[in-house]
Amino acid sequence: MCPSPPIRSTRSRCACFWKALIVITAILTALFGVFVYLNEEFEPVVYRLPPPPSLKGPLKPNNYLRNAQMLLKGQILGPESLVVEKDGKKTVIYTGTWDGKLLKIVNGIVEKSLKIKPGKKTFACGATYHTEPKCGRPLGIRRLNEREFIVAEAYSGLYTVDFEKGTVNQIFSNEQTLEEKKCHFANDLDILNGRNDSNSFTVFFSHSSTRWDRRRFMHDFFEGKSTGRLIRVEFDRNLKPKPSVALDGLGFANGVQLHPDGESLLVSECSRARIIRYFHSGPKRGQHSVFTKNLPGFPDNIRISSSGQSFLVGMAAVRHSDQFISFMDFLGGHPWIRWGIVQIIPQRYLTSILNLIAQKYGMVVELDLNGKIIRSYHDPSGTVIQGVSQASDDGDFLYLGSFHADFIGKVPKKG
């Protein structure tokens, strides 16, 4: 096991920053609000999160993630979701990246590269605020059958991908309206009855926000309205897809993972620091409950471990009682500050600026099948790993995805 590092206080530095932020935001909003473009769509509301948990017991900090190897360092960008498979002595990883690419990686080398939107020229897809909707942003990826995968593309919908044939085909459009709202922000997914009969299967995917697209995901966090949904789509190769809203009112719906019980699934409420359990079949069909709450971070993707006895949850950012203050926790009771920030900072810079002031920390939490935290993996200073979008394992190694890093993390499972 890796030794546990001491927790370093950031109280004095953070105190000065937050005082300055509040004062500057108030002054600029008051003095210059008349002259800036006001985002009239943005309507922040008060939200409350429970006091952040303490990092003790199974959450006690360690240096585990600092041992991560950086696969394809500098060659990829934002490998959000991963499918990790063993093929004899080969380790094969499938992922989608920020510049609209779909990759098959064999033993750390890119073997195949496709584009989620094949009509777009490579030179125009540079993973920028302006090119992202045009070039596509592949997020969740799952294997459908022996040949195909299903990928959630944030702006346009769901696609089947065959890496061997080099084909990418859309099977569900985000332009479809469900309960008077378009599904314009597909995030993660899981597949029910996929591998047994790929002609008839059901996809559950997270629709993160009914108000904001992926480029403006921080607007959804800042607004605090909980408009995310869990969408169910029944597919039959010979018929049109049958979509329906399984669950709504979610706080930035994110990771989706079927539960081994065969009757339920988990969906991350990222902005609420908790995970919801939804029953898709069985005697509790249609019901839902809180699976785990007050997590030490904002949960992104959820994946079943190789043992099938636990879940690995990547934390997009952390929140804990040893911080001077948690950014999102503090702002919950101050919608006017959030309003001022959104009015003053241009949309294309908002996420980048907030990343500069966020605590640099990498964390993965492991839950048992009942939602209890049993273990955690840390990089307390974010030296190697920070902002984990997904953790998957093959029994020997943990593989770490990220929505912004330029590599895939790989760390021995037993540290």
- Of the candidates 386, 407, 402, the one whose C-alpha atom is nearest the C-alpha of residue 65 is 386
Q: Write the DSSP string, 68-129.
A: -EEETTTT------EEEEEETTEEEEEEE-TTSEEEEEETTEEEEEEESSTTS-GGG--S-T
Q: Hey, what are 395's tokens? A: 């029994």
Q: In what order do the strands lie in the sheet with 390-393?
A: 69-71, 408-412, 397-401, 390-393
Distance, in Å, from the CA atom of 246 to the CA atom of 379, rounded to the nearest integer, reads 36
pTM (predicted TM-score): 0.91
| Other CB atoms within 10 Å distance of the CB of residue 358 | 17
Please give the biggest Cα pair distance in the chain: 65
What is the reported pLDDT for 10?
Answer: 46
Q: Write the DSSP string, 338-365.
A: HHHHHHHS-HHHHHHHHHHHS---EEEE
Parts of the chain with a pLDDT under 50: 2-12, 15, 30-31, 34-35
Distance, in Å, from the CA atom of 137 to the CA atom of 139, rounded to the nearest integer, reads 6
CATH topology of domain 11-74+141-152+159-412: Neuraminidase (2.120.10)
Local structure of 180: helix, strand or coil: coil
What is the reported pLDDT for 123?
Answer: 54
Distance, in Å, from the CA atom of 162 to the CA atom of 149, rounded to the nearest integer, reads 7
What Rg, from alpha-carbon coordinates, does the chain have? 21
Sign of CA dihedral 330, 16, 53, 266: positive
What is the reported pLDDT for 29?
Answer: 53
What is the reported pLDDT for 20?
Answer: 56
What is the reported pLDDT for 32?
Answer: 52
- Of the candidates 333, 360, 298, 294, the one whose C-alpha atom is nearest the C-alpha of residue 13 is 360
What is the reported pLDDT for 25?
Answer: 59
Domain boundary assignment for the chain: 11-74+141-152+159-412
Q: Hey, what are 108's tokens? A: 């750390």
Distance, in Å, from the CA atom of 176 to the CA atom of 166, rounded to the nearest integer, reads 27
Distance, in Å, from the CA atom of 83 to the CA atom of 140, rounded to the nearest integer, reads 9
CA torsion angle 209 319 78 195 (round to 10): -70
What is the reported pLDDT for 12?
Answer: 46
What is the reported pLDDT for 357?
Answer: 76
Query: What one-letter code names the amino acid at 255?
Result: G
What is the reported pLDDT for 193?
Answer: 85
Residue with tokens 């309003």: 339
- Of the candidates 59, 107, 67, 69, the one whose C-alpha atom is nearest the C-alpha of residue 365 is 59
Local structure of 13: helix, strand or coil: helix
- Of the candidates 327, 395, 394, the one whose C-alpha atom is nearest the C-alpha of residue 358 is 327
What is the reported pLDDT for 297?
Answer: 97
What is the reported pLDDT for 414?
Answer: 76
